[in-house]
């Protein structure tokens, strides 16, 4: 006997103020608060139902059966909360490259949390969903919401969750994703964070300036100051990647294409175009800009990159239930 199947869609988010390091590895409590923009072009659809005929959870990603301990962990938490004893079938379709620095885990675990909680008979509010999604992937805590979202660091499971800063923006801010390499990265975010926290001599400085960056960018968002938002985000990203270069052994997510895209953005800015870059744990570059400037930026990028690898995204919505696809 199986429960009703529920399907949820959640979108990725790109952090403008990064979190890079965990205070608590098990609960995924970050070392600092962060802020992101949810995007409309990248998302995950996940369907879940529980079935008494199963003897273990089944996870299928893009048609291929997978083993994923994080998925099982989130389902175990839900079973504990709800009293549901059965195992589940989880089927996900990623409309974003996995593990390449485009936040696929954020959309994946936000969608899983919503679909699985409904299938387990729970009607969680968004704060509870944010906390649950965090237990699968830290950045997923922000993908429960649309628009600008702040993940408040907190100090334990109950106090670490995301809150919407502004969901209905009414602001033509965009991001252009430059897909340099969509393959799985060699050093996972988890491994990279742990190495930086334990070995970088600059980590305490990161925590201090990340707090200052968060205050500054929230003020700039309120003022609709694209230049300030972009510059703060760009500097914050560079500081995060500088930590990786200062770790032992050092590592970098940059590839030659990453540096080329960054240089193009800097050249455009010197010509008076307001555009700024950010990178997460991967080589792909995201360019923050106004919608009116996307064509001139795309034209400059097309001299070095294929148009199919340039994706314009706007602000996206929060996680929601959808009809089964």
pLDDT in the model for residue 222: 96
Per-residue pLDDT tens over the stretch 97-143: 654 456 689 999 999 999 999 999 999 999 999 999 999 999 999 99
pLDDT in the model for residue 104: 85
* Backbone region of residue 271 per phi and psi (left: phi > 0; alpha: psi in -120 to 50; beta: other values): alpha
Q: Report d(CA 254, CA 272) in Å as an integer.
A: 26
Q: Report whether 169 contacts 288 (CB < 8 A).
A: no
| Residue 96 pLDDT class (50, 70, 90 cuts) | confident
CB within 8 Å of 230: residues ≥ 6 apart: 274, 275, 276, 288, 289
Per-residue pLDDT tens over the stretch 256-311: 999 999 999 999 999 999 999 999 999 999 999 999 999 999 999 999 999 999 99
Statement: residue 325 has pLDDT above 70: no
Q: Report d(CA 233, CA 225) in Å as an integer.
A: 12
pLDDT in the model for residue 184: 78
Statement: residue 181 has pLDDT above 90: no
CB atoms within 10 A of CB 215: 12
291-309 b/e (C-beta count within 10 Å ≥ 16 → b): eebbeebbebbeeebeeeb
- Domains in the chain with CATH codes: 6-170 (3.30.230.10), 173-313 (3.30.70.890)
CB atoms within 10 A of CB 168: 10
Q: 168 - beta bridge partners?
A: none
Q: And the tokens for 80?
A: 């504990």
Reported as type and span, the H/E element at residue 203 is helix 203-222
pLDDT in the model for residue 103: 60
Q: And the tokens for 100?
A: 């390449």
**Residue 37 DSSP code:** E
**Residue 159, CA atoms < 13 Å, CB-side half-sphere:** 7
pLDDT in the model for residue 100: 47
User: Is cis: bond before 249, omega within 30 of 0?
Assistant: yes
Per-residue pLDDT tens over the stretch 199-212: 999 999 999 999 99
- Average pLDDT score, the chain: 95
Q: Mean of the pLDDT values across residues 218-235?
A: 98
Nearest by Cα to 298 from 278, 318, 312, 284: 312
Instruction: Look at the block and give the residue holding tokens 């959309």.
Output: 107
Q: Mean of the pLDDT values across residues 2-10?
A: 93
């Amino acid at each position: 006997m199986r429960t009703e199947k529920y399907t949820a869609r959640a979108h990725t988010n790109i952090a403008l103020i990064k979190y890079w390091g965990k205070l608590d590895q098990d609960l995924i409590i970050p070392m600092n608060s962060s802020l992101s923009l949810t995007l409309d072009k990248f998302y995950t659809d996940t369907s879940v139902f529980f079935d008494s005929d199963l003897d273990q959870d089944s996870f299928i990603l893009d048609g291929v059966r997978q083993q994923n301990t994080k998925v099982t962990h989130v389902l175990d938490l839900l079973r504990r909360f709800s009293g549901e004893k059965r195992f589940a079938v989880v089927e996900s379709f990623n409309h974003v490259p996995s593990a390449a620095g485009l936040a696929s885990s954020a959309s994946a675990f936000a969608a899983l949390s919503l679909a699985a909680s409904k299938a387990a008979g729970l009607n969680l509010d968004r704060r509870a969903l944010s906390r649950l999604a965090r237990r699968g992937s830290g950045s997923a805590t922000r993908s429960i919401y649309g628009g600008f979202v702040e993940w408040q660091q907190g100090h334990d499971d109950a106090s670490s969750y995301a809150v919407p800063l502004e969901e209905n923006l009414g602001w033509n801010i965009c991001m252009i994703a430059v897909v340099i390499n969509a393959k799985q990265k060699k050093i996972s975010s988890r491994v990279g964070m742990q190495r930086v926290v334990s070995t970088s001599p600059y980590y305490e400085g990161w925590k201090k300036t990340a707090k200052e960056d968060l205050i500054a960018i929230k003020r700039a968002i309120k003022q609709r100051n694209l230049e300030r938002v972009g510059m703060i985000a760009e500097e914050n990203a560079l500081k995060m990647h500088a930590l990786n270069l200062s770790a032992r052994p050092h590592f970098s997510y940059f590839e030659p294409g990453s540096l080329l895209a960054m240089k193009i953005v800097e050249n455009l800015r010197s010509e008076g175009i307001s555009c700024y870059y950010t990178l997460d744990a991967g080589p792909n570059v995201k360019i923050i800009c106004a919608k009116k400037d996307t064509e001139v930026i795309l034209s400059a990028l097309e001299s070095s990159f294929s148009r199919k690898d340039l994706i314009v995204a706007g602000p996206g919505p929060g996680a929601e239930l959808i009809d089964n696809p």
